[in-house]
Copies of this chain bind each other. A is one copy, B any other.
Amino acid sequence: MRNVKIYWSSMTTRSASSNRNASRSRKLALPYTTVDVVIFTVLDDALQVLLVQRRGDGDEPFPGRWALPGGFVDVEADSSLEDCARRKLEDKTGVASPYLEQLGSWGSSTRDPRGWSATHVYFTLIPGQDVSLVKGANAADVAWFKVDEVLHPRGLAFDHDDILQSAVERLRGKVEYTSLPAFLLPEPFTLPQLQRMYEVVLGRPVDKSGFRTRMLAGRFLEEVGYADGESNRPAKGYRLIDRLSLVVFPRTFSPRGAD
């Protein structure tokens, strides 16, 4: 025998102030709304993440600390959350990545010292080579960091350690059964290169034969000439048939149900 409130509790409270279209001058305090982007790449055979150093002066929280790129939603400029995320990604990297996935949202009264805030987090994978140029042409406050070194010891601004942790788990999880790592390579790429991406992200070797079978069975790659080899047998070049969508394999790479 429980009781049930009939109307939306907050809704009711809110409409009691009887201003419908006014988005300013209200009674109820609104949380801050931000968007952050976790940008992964593989450089130097290591999984890396793009971080931005917060300003050391002024009155902003976490001065001088490194953080995920992101910021407040701009009601005038951003038409949607994904739109906002895409712009932040392009601002920092110059890359208009087609693949952008929502990771989740984090919101609480304590995560930002300025007040109640909620952030919508997206993540993406981009080819590292494309961006190194940008980084070189810039100052020290945008940089790639090896994920493992960022996570211990933890030290990012806000709750970005938690967010990054989640992103890495999601990434490693999905790599087991999707074609995600293909987004880490510039096209055209070879199967051995792609295999390397899987190995770097997963942190373990992958069998060559099984790997090739799987990739080709996925029907998401199309041949496009040969890569110019170094001094051995040249590998076939491939590119994604559809650079937007992800292929899901029917099984994971190695069933971990070993007990």
Contact = CB atoms under 8 A, between A and B. Distances in A.
A156 to B, nearest CB: 15
Contact of A33 (B31, B93, B250, B251): B31
- Determine the main DSSP class of A at the interface with B: loop
A140 B5 CA distance: 12
A37 to B, nearest CB: 11
Contacts of A139: 6
Given A81-B107, A91-B9, A31 B73 contact: yes
B79 A9 contact: no
Contacts of A29: 23-24, 75-76
A146 B241 CA distance: 38
Q: How many copies of this chain sit in the oligomeric assembly?
A: 2
A33 B164 CA distance: 23
Contact of A23 (B78, B116, B135, B256): B116
A4 to B, nearest CB: 5
Interface stretch (A54-62, A185-193, A201-209, A232-240): A54-62
Nearest to A78: B109
A72 interface: yes
Interface string A114-154: 11101010000000000001110111011000000000000
Interface string A92-123: 11110000001011111110011110101000
A80 B94 contact: no
A181 interface: no
Interface of A: 1-11, 13-15, 18, 20-21, 23-24, 28-34, 52, 55, 58-60, 69-76, 78-81, 83, 87-88, 91-95, 102, 104-110, 113-116, 118, 120, 133-135, 137-139, 141-142, 217, 219, 249-252, 255-257, 259
